[in-house]
Structure 1
Amino acid sequence: MKYYALVGSNLQMVDEAGSGAPEGWIEMLAVRPDDENTGDYTAQADGTWAITQETLNAKLIPIESSWRDAQMPIAQQNVTAIEYGEGDIPGTAQQWQRYWLALRKWTDTNPDFPDSSKRPVAPS
């Protein structure tokens, strides 16, 4: 039995009859791993399966974008509240403004995005 895949994709074909691979497909060294991460493996040009950073980023980008979108109005509201005299908010208006600006840059143009450990940090 042979296993074929499209390089850079998760698609796999099992060839039990020995009929060969469709054009553009390569023979894999082994079947795609069947575990909790099955959907994350992509075929590599050397015939192996790997979970690439590109695949992981594709899963993380929507999470980080959603987090940023939720944090931006909080930062703006805290600036306004501090400027109106609210005293129970940690940090200064300027710190919250800098946080908002950092959030604004938390996009795919940021080299650290979407690594959640490198997110902008709110004033405390």
Structure 2
Amino acid sequence: MKYFINEASLEVFAFSDDGSQDDWIPSDVRPMTQFEIEKHLNPDPTPEQLAYAELAWRDEQMPIAQQTVTAIEYGEQDIPGTAQQWQKYWLDLRKWKSTNPDFPDSSKRPVAPA
């Protein structure tokens, strides 16, 4: 595909590479760069998508933290960290939501005990 953009309206047009649609290419567009094409086809996630992904991650991690605390309390030996560290992790996970100033920056997620 060949991609073109109208810089005034930001409309994107795609045409066949074989030239069969070249007569339809408007005169007020320019060819897009490879970088622009990649950004158009693979846009950055929206803030809502980032928040959804972080909440899904948190919801996945919370039961793991609770189960790990229980396992440690029942004497499981091969688990890194202490029950208190895992409890703190679980509490930090509870706070990992939109009211947290670092949310939804995944680089600032709570970190499980290691």
For normalisation by structure 1, the TM-score amounts to: 0.61
State the partner residue of 1:109.
Answer: 99
Unaligned runs of at least 5 residues, structure 2: 1-5, 14-25
- Name the aligned partner's letter for residue 74 of structure 1: I
Q: How many equivalent pairs are there?
A: 94
The structural deviation recorded for 1:31 is 9.7
Structure with bigger gyration radius: 2
1:16-63 CA distance string (max 9 Å, x none) = 7xxxxxxxxxxxxx999852222787xxxxxxxxx7xxx642231121
The change in CA–CA distance for 1:58 and 1:88 in structure 2 (over 3 A counts) is same
The whole-number CA distance in structure 2 between the counterparts of 1:112 and 1:77 is: 26
Alignment of 1:57 with 2:47, yes or no, is yes
- Name the aligned partner's letter for residue 35 of structure 1: I
Native 8 Å contact 1:3 1:13 kept in 2? no
Question: Which is further off, 75-84 or 31-40?
Answer: 31-40
* Identical amino acids, percent of aligned pairs: 58
Unaligned runs of at least 5 residues, structure 1: 6-11, 17-29, 42-50
Q: Spell out structure 1 runs of 4+ moving beyond 4 A.
A: 30-34
The whole-number CA distance in structure 1 between the counterparts of 2:105 and 2:55 is: 11
Native 8 Å contact 1:64 1:114 kept in 2? yes
For normalisation by structure 2, the TM-score amounts to: 0.65
